[in-house]
Amino acid sequence: MTTVALKPATMAQALGRALRDAMADDPTVHVMGEDVGTLGGVFRVTDGLAKEFGEDRVTDTPLAEAGILGTAVGMAMYGLRPVVEMQFDAFAYPAFEQLISHVARMRNRTRGAMPLPITVRVPYGGGIGGVEHHSDSSEAYYIATPGLHVVTPATVADAYGLLRAAIASDDPVVFLEPKRLYWSKDTWNPDEPQTVDPIGRAAVRRHGRSATLITYGPSVPVCMEAAEAARAEGWDLEVVDLRSLVPFDDETVSASVRRTGRAVVVHESGGFGGPGGEIAARVTERCFHYLEAPVLRVAGFDIPYPPPMLERHHLPGVDRILDAVARLQWEAQS
């Protein structure tokens, strides 16, 4: 029996490794964005790629997000597989027109003749003490756009696996990277990395019988912590990590809620018009007769992203999650 040496790695390292392996496997994969070359990206995700693959394949572009994504469209039209980095969530907005009017619908408008295999990497979410315009939860904008896949990893292994799957996908993928998990460490075997296939399957991170926490990206570790803390209250919580917002894994989510009979959706994005509303509706439509209580949401407040010294009040934390769990009509059980 051989023992595999599992080493701790950060999510940023796993993402970099995914880019490296994808570029090595497929010469049509190109990485482009602001500071991705010489510097290795402001989060160092692309560190070393320019040296290994050259500036033609790892390109420091002019500072213009619509231009970055717009030229990536043309490159994909010619048969390349661009991986575009948007430096921060709130800096991606200039690229919205290209994303919505072209990237998301090129396959459809050409009756399948010209799909665009583009991966758009977007560091997103709060928790790193970023000043204004560095911490937006922008996922609701992306999931409202048909034609895009929207995925977000919560573990080191998924960061690698989902990014490989995103780059391999013939459809455009918005790849949301939780900034505050970039430096999260996990034991991971970089010699036998696994791709996640297919995109669109949720993972049950913790099995439990009392209620289901449905979450994704940066809120997954928070929910895991909440589930541990809930044991003291006598609740055995299940945690479902969606991994992919589009496509949405109704099957895994519904199966979990049918088992537990209670559900709370947790995300940093604002509640009004956020993914939680859609998720709560889907769960209710599919699990109504199994539900012991209304599906609740724990979300960021419906406010512009707060300044760093106040952001902890905005982000869903363990206490707010447990408060919601406490409101799941347990009294009806006895």
Active-site residue numbers? Answer: 134
Closest CB to other proteins among 101 and 333? 101
CB of 146 vs other proteins, minimal distance in Å: 6
CB 150 within 8 A of CB 142: yes
CB of 33 vs other proteins, minimal distance in Å: 13
Closest CB to other proteins among 200 and 300? 200
Interacting residue ranges for other proteins, rule: CB under 8 A: 56, 61-62, 64, 66-67, 69-80, 94, 97-98, 101-102, 105-115, 146-147, 149, 169-171, 198, 200, 246-248, 250-251
The encoded tokens of residue 203 equal 């993972």
Cα–Cα distance for residue pair 94/86, rounded to 1 Å: 10
CA distance between the termini of the chain? 51
Cα–Cα distance for residue pair 274/298, rounded to 1 Å: 11
Closest CB to other proteins among 175 and 182? 175
CB of 255 vs other proteins, minimal distance in Å: 13
Helices vs. strands in the chain: H and E counts, helices first: 12, 14
The owner of tokens 């979410």 is: 125
**160-171 b/e with 16+ CB inside 10 Å = b?**
bbbbbbbbbbeb
DSSP β-bridge partners for residue 9:
186
CB of 267 vs other proteins, minimal distance in Å: 19
Bridge-based pairing of strands 185-188 and 7-10 is: antiparallel
CB of 256 vs other proteins, minimal distance in Å: 16
Cα–Cα distance for residue pair 143/133, rounded to 1 Å: 20
